[in-house]
Chains A and B, each alone.
Chain A
Amino acid sequence: MAESKKKFVVAPGCSFVGNKKTYKEGDEIDETAFKDKARFESFLKGDKPKIIPAPAAEKKAEEKKPDRKELEKLALDGGLLKENQLSAVKDDELEKILKDAGLIK
């Protein structure tokens, strides 16, 4: 599945102006608003980023994350683990097993 384009918003306490437009805190903003990608990324990184990932986009990403039961089913159906082994495997270990087997990205 193609990864949807990540969205960004102006961080709280920050704002931008350019191209006859103003971007207030919480407004969606992308690299096309800036002189170049490097300038956009300079505001995205650093100790006090002025641009942050959009909360809605983050939430959607979290929603899409499969839960433990779905991952267990994938592991059982794929024959990677047996039922009595599941309780001993932690979440991140389970994800790694499935990733290594190519069942999830």
Chain B
Amino acid sequence: MLNILAKVIALFNSQPDITKMGFLSSFFVTTPDSFTDAEFCDLDEIYEGEEVAPTVTDLSTGAVTLVEDKFVNKQIPFPVYALRSPAQIAALMNRQPGESAYVTQKINWLARLATILVRKMGRMTRMLRRSMELQAAQVLQTGDIILTDEKGRQTFKLGLTPKASHFPTVTTPWRDLNATATPGHDHTPLDDMDAVADIVRDDGLVDISIAIFGDQAWKDFIKNDWIRENLKKDVLNMGALSPQIVNLGGKRMGYIDYGSYRYLLFTYNARYNPFGNIEEKIKFLDPNKVILLPELSDLDFRRIFGGIPTVRTDTTFDQIFGVDKTQIGGEYDIRPRVFWSDDNETFIAEIKSRPLMLPVSVNRYACITTA
């Protein structure tokens, strides 16, 4: 009976994506240029507008001279994540998760140590994935990324300063809007979304087509009779989205046509613990916010990684964890390291990574606060 239970727990532990998390960071893509050895990322922005060409009187008239495009350069440092976890030699005597409580054969101590280190590395990598999701969540909801250290002091600020008009607050909370109101005639959530989508159209030259709702914002949105009646739930449009979005916590709720826009509607309810506080759960997407995005092909959101110098003195675990930075599924770039400390006879597992969720197309998205 005990062995069966142990196996069940081990199987549960091996599920890679039980948290259904990563929906927001999935909009930030990696390219071959994403993995760098750089300290800073240079971002050049060119603003061109949507001008049409004027005519001139006749062929003898000179051509109309165009002024230089507006050009802005920003230099952004990469944030630094570094985690470590010790594994004492003495702790090898303790039963590990998933193991039988009864020792029936001779133990391979190095294999046991490797198992412990792999588990520690796995936990640290998952923490890193959640931090990347938090970066994505912050930048999509506020236009900025502010990261803090373990004591809550600010260590990083993206500072892209996107247009404030892309992050409006509603004048009337959605929960207080009349449920029988009709879009276009009265004030409904769709009118607010439409007004903000028009701003993005003007500034970013793209049409909004994806709306990701926080939990409460969705409840207030579908409270409206007209919206409920016109919400289409068929899944024929699924091909419009990259398959990578599936299974990361985002739930497709259907689509709705209004004005010039067709909104694919999603909800996202994943959450995380702040560092050092496993009691508190915070949702990546504020329950009262709605993120508006254009089609993925119109987005240039990058997942890029800064450089980490590597000098190896202990090569014991190189075969297991690699000798340099490790890319996981082409999505993550971490530098794992295991080193020996004579204090208390301890091996220390460490990972470092410098991921940055960079919304290059900074004027092509918006977020509404609906409360």
Residues of A within 8 A of B (CB): 12-25, 33-35, 39, 43, 50
CB pair A18–B164 under 8 Å, yes or no, is: no
CB pair A15–B176 under 8 Å, yes or no, is: no
Instruction: Bits for B155-169, please: 1 = Cβ < 8 Å to A, else 0.
Output: 000000000111111
CB pair B195–A25 under 8 Å, yes or no, is: no
Residues of B within 8 A of A33 (CB): 171
Q: Does B187 contact A (CB under 8 A)?
A: yes
Say yes or no: A34-B172 contact (C-beta < 8 A), given A18-B192, A22-B196: yes
CB pair A22–B195 under 8 Å, yes or no, is: yes
Nearest 8 interchain pairs by C-beta: A18-B171, A35-B172, A15-B168, A17-B168, A15-B165, A24-B165, A34-B171, A17-B192
In this complex, what residue of B is CB-closest to A18?
B171
Q: A18-B170, A19-B171, A19-B172 are in contact. List 8 more A-B contacts (CB 8 A).
A: A14-B164, A18-B171, A18-B187, A20-B187, A21-B195, A22-B195, A34-B172, A43-B169
Give Cα distance in the complex from A12 to B171, angstroms. 17
Give Cα distance in the complex from A33 to B166, angstroms. 19
Instruction: Bits for B168-206, please: 1 = Cβ < 8 Å to A, else 0.
Output: 111111001000000000010001101110110000000
- Interface residues on chain B, number (Cβ under 8 Å): 20
Q: Does B368 contact A (CB under 8 A)?
A: yes
Residues of B within 8 A of A43 (CB): 169
6 residue pairs of the A-B complex, CB under 8 angstroms, read A15-B165, A16-B170, A17-B368, A22-B199, A34-B172, A43-B169
CB pair B171–A16 under 8 Å, yes or no, is: yes
Give Cα distance in the complex from A16 to B167, angstroms. 8
Say yes or no: A25-B171 contact (C-beta < 8 A), given A17-B195, A18-B187: no
In this complex, what residue of B is CB-closest to A40?
B171
In this complex, what residue of A is CB-closest to B192?
A17
Say yes or no: A16-B168 contact (C-beta < 8 A), given A22-B195, A22-B199, A35-B173: yes
Residues of B within 8 A of A34 (CB): 171-172
Give Cα distance in the complex from A35 to B198, angstroms. 23
Say yes or no: A16-B169 contact (C-beta < 8 A), given A24-B164, A25-B164, A35-B176: yes
Residues of B within 8 A of A (CB): 164-173, 176, 187, 191-192, 194-196, 198-199, 368
Give Cα distance in the complex from A50 to B171, angstroms. 12
In this complex, what residue of A is CB-closest to B198?
A22
Residues of A within 8 A of B191 (CB): 19-20
Say yes or no: A13-B164 contact (C-beta < 8 A), given A20-B191, A20-B195: yes
Residues of A within 8 A of B173 (CB): 35, 39
Give Cα distance in the complex from A97 to B167, angstroms. 49
In this complex, what residue of A is CB-closest to B184?
A20
Give Cα distance in the complex from A24 to B196, angstroms. 11
Q: Closest CB-CB distance, A50 to chain B, in whole Å?
A: 7
Q: Closest CB-CB distance, A30 to chain B, in whole Å?
A: 11
Residues of A within 8 A of B368 (CB): 17
Give Cα distance in the complex from A20 to B195, angstroms. 6
Q: Closest CB-CB distance, B256 to chain A, in whole Å?
A: 17
CB pair B165–A22 under 8 Å, yes or no, is: yes
Q: Closest CB-CB distance, B78 to chain A, in whole Å?
A: 25
Give Cα distance in the complex from A21 to B50, angstroms. 23
In this complex, what residue of A is CB-closest to B167?
A15
Say yes or no: A14-B195 contact (C-beta < 8 A), given A24-B164, A25-B164: no
Residues of A within 8 A of B169 (CB): 14-17, 43, 50
Give Cα distance in the complex from A21 to B194, angstroms. 10
Residues of A within 8 A of B187 (CB): 18-20
With most chain B CB atoms within 10 A of its CB, the pick from A15, A17, A22, A35 is A17
CB pair A22–B164 under 8 Å, yes or no, is: no
Residue of A13, A14, A17, A24 touching B171 (CB-CB under 8 A): A17
